[in-house]
Structure 1
């Protein structure tokens, strides 16, 4: 079987794991295996859902559930490898990016996912990284082969968020059956006031529709409201039973 080429933005229709590149590039995390970094990124993806489900302890710390069986299934490995990967991340045996707390017999352990950026207290960290990268690139440009062409300046990852433009959307969470509906907590609260009946059902419909058709929408909140208003309009057209307020007293009484 041969895979097809991409000819448009079809790649945007799927779910992705947000994998921070600093975990691959910074020397502090150099002892981590690639599999453990992927596992940590999977765990980070669950934080927003946990917050939505109010999985927060008495100290306001968000926690997730991620069993050993899930590690084996998602990373396609055996139990021994799964235990090793968890240990790499664990606060007791590894780098300390996760902390596990047992709940008792028959219950899955609670997993606290730690913030990987919290160890960098220097506010200029980002600037120094960029400056260092620029210095390295300027030296590399002198010695690059003709095959490089202009790819360095033209190959820009358009999926990378512009902090200046998206600062207000930084608290976006993933909703729906396929976790591809983007809403902030404020969006969800506003929608729940507008769409009183079965908001989650409507979100699941949008999620499944985008996954099955490959369609994308610029604003998922606006799309949900539009769908809701269309549904209301269709329902009113189909309904043949009029309420008291629907009647014009002058004509019917």
Structure 2
């Protein structure tokens, strides 16, 4: 007996492994009169096992078996799991231009546009403009948060127009005052990703309008109006009016 079970106590160690599939215990041991047979397999093993069982049935020798079984993982184990979270949101396209707190802020009045009214003026200078007329506008808040177009358009290519001029000699007088417009800001060209630099858009005295495309920008903007002095003709008396429209539009 001592040859079969060494020591006074046999300790059974139960082990479970949560990992890729491992061989499960299936042990069969015989000791028949000192002849040991361990886990017989194959055709020869089957014969030897049959003889061992026959001997045990006749009261000779002993047998030890250990069988263990447990169900496998429900699915293939994955030691590393990677999950990607896709975060999304949206920002609405917007353009901004602070133009004061009411409509009066955009009414630009040159006041009296001075002409040479002295009776000692040479006839070739009489009623001509004394000097240029100008206006300057600045807003500290302007821009668009996407590719955009900046456009400036006059309502009349002739500039400021006296719509009730009456009759006049067109060789000596005119009833309009041409003016130019120049806007300036800090921005970038359309579809360009870079640091902002000085940008501008000009409409000459002979142009009706002009446009430029930009990438997203925000900065102050200045708009200058300049009506050069008319020195080759006199101005017909009356009220002169015109309008200029600035449009910032996201593309």
TM-score normalised to the size of structure 1?
0.18
Structure with the higher fraction of residues in helix conformation? 1
Q: Specify which structure has the bigger relative contact order, considering alpha-carbon pairs within 8 angstroms and separated by 6 or more residues.
A: 2
For the pair shown, which has the larger CA radius of gyration, 1 or 2? 2
TM-score normalised to the size of structure 2?
0.18
Structure with the higher fraction of residues in strand conformation? 2
